[in-house]
Amino acid sequence: MSDEPILKAEAVSKYFKVQGRTLRAVERVSFELGAGQTLGLVGESGSGKSTLGRVVLRLLEADEGKVVFQGQDLAKLSGRELRLRRRDMQIIFQDPLASLNPRMTVGAAIEDAMVVQKIGGSAAERRQRTRELLERVGLPVSAAEAYPFELSGGQQQRVGIARALSVGPKLVVCDEPISALDVSVQVQIIELLRELQKELGITYIFISHNLGVVQLLSDTVLVLYLGEVVERASAEGLFQRPAHPYTQALMRSVLKVPEAAEKRVPLVALPGEIPSPLSPPAGCPYHPRCPLAADRCRVEKPELRMVSDGHMAACHFAEEAAIGGVNGAAAFGASPELAASS
Ligand SMILES: Nc1ncnc2c1ncn2[C@@H]1O[C@H](COP(=O)(O)OP(=O)(O)O)[C@@H](O)[C@H]1O
Ligand SMILES: [Mg+2]
């Protein structure tokens, strides 16, 4: 085993052309991820999380920067090589139903994933492996005969997980895998993802707009705002000492999951609106919403810089924010149900 990270992103950018203008969906994002670890991506809707997840898997081509997976620059792979590489890199979506073929039984869908990757041996062996996978993700073997629409949302997501696992991936991008599910089911799916990681040593990129959920699962967390990393820290460091006012606002806005369900409020209700990514504010992109914004913030864009050991933030006042701002740990509690399973 080497200490070389399994995945490296170096100044990755992705732009979209929208009405003749350039939308900077992801801008100069860098990170390193060790095997068996989880990188959390958090930020409000539109902050570039899904785009980054797709660029990392080369489901979208980066416009700038580089993604290195197991020492290999993914941009250098031919179409055929990339298809083979997909065995090692899978994705789980928010809406499992949309990603499943409605006319295929669950069993056929999982077997098909193996056929596409030319693995799993004979048809009989694939069928056997499918049964094992269904059981592993907590579904009855009889689910193989069911059609996706006959299953509950949680069961559909279990199928999505089984299908991703069927090819034996090393890296799985989980793109808001629990956001569409009921609270009690969210807890079960998180627990399942955790067990699978422990058993199989899978590396995760875990995407959510819910900071509480991200922190429970992640080793390292990137906080994205308008496509850029505004804070990067260990999950623990972020929880104890959020340094960016945006992260602090995210923390304050995260209610405990059951509490939010009871009150029927969205889990993220931040003050102010996200500016249009087509015309991001000058200076610090967060300044129009920031309680600490000063003249300097309106003109000078803060670079991502080290504010304490291994903890980076892009804020001119990160130190002051960390001391004088909200105390994240006190203001914020993860769901006791979720925390209890850690
Ligand atoms: N295919 C696309 N064409 C144009 N704009 C896009 C496309 N995909 C995403 N975007 C824009 O890129 C930004 C980031 O989107 P996305 O990565 O989906 O954010 P998130 O997953 O954090 O909600 C948004 O402003 C979104 O509207
Ligand atoms: Mg998304």
Residue 334's pLDDT is 40
| pLDDT tens for each residue of 13-28 | 999 999 999 999 999 9
Cβ–ligand 1 contact at 18 (below 6 Å):
yes
What domains sit in the chain, N to C, each tagged with a CATH number? 7-81+202-340 (3.40.50.300)
> Which-ligand-closest: CA of 280?
1
What are the b/e assignments for 167-199, b being 16+ CB within 10 Å? bebbbbbbbbbbebbebebbbbbbebbbebbee
CB-ligand 1 contact for 47 (6 Å cutoff)? yes
**Span from the CA of 56 to the centroid of ligand 1 (angstroms):** 15
Q: Decide: helix, strand or coil at residue 312.
A: strand
pTM: 0.90
**What are the angstrom distances between the C-alpha of 164 and each of 106, 112, 113, 239, 334?**
13, 11, 8, 30, 28
Distance from the alpha carbon of residue 62 to the mean position of ligand 1, in angstroms: 14
- Please tell me the predicted confidence (pLDDT) of residue 264: 56
| C-alpha 286 to ligand 1 mean position (Å) | 18
Which one of 14, 15, 23, 27 would you pick to mutate in the ligand 1 pocket, going by the greatest count of ligand atoms within 8 A of its CB? Answer: 23
Residue 3 CA to ligand 2 center (angstroms) comes to 31
Residues 199 and 84: their CA atoms lie apart, in Å, by: 24
- pLDDT tens-place string over residues 238-296: 989 999 999 998 888 765 555 555 655 555 567 788 899 999 999 999 999 999 999 99
Q: Which ligand is nearest to the CA of 176?
A: 2
Residues of the chain with pLDDT under 50: 1, 326-342
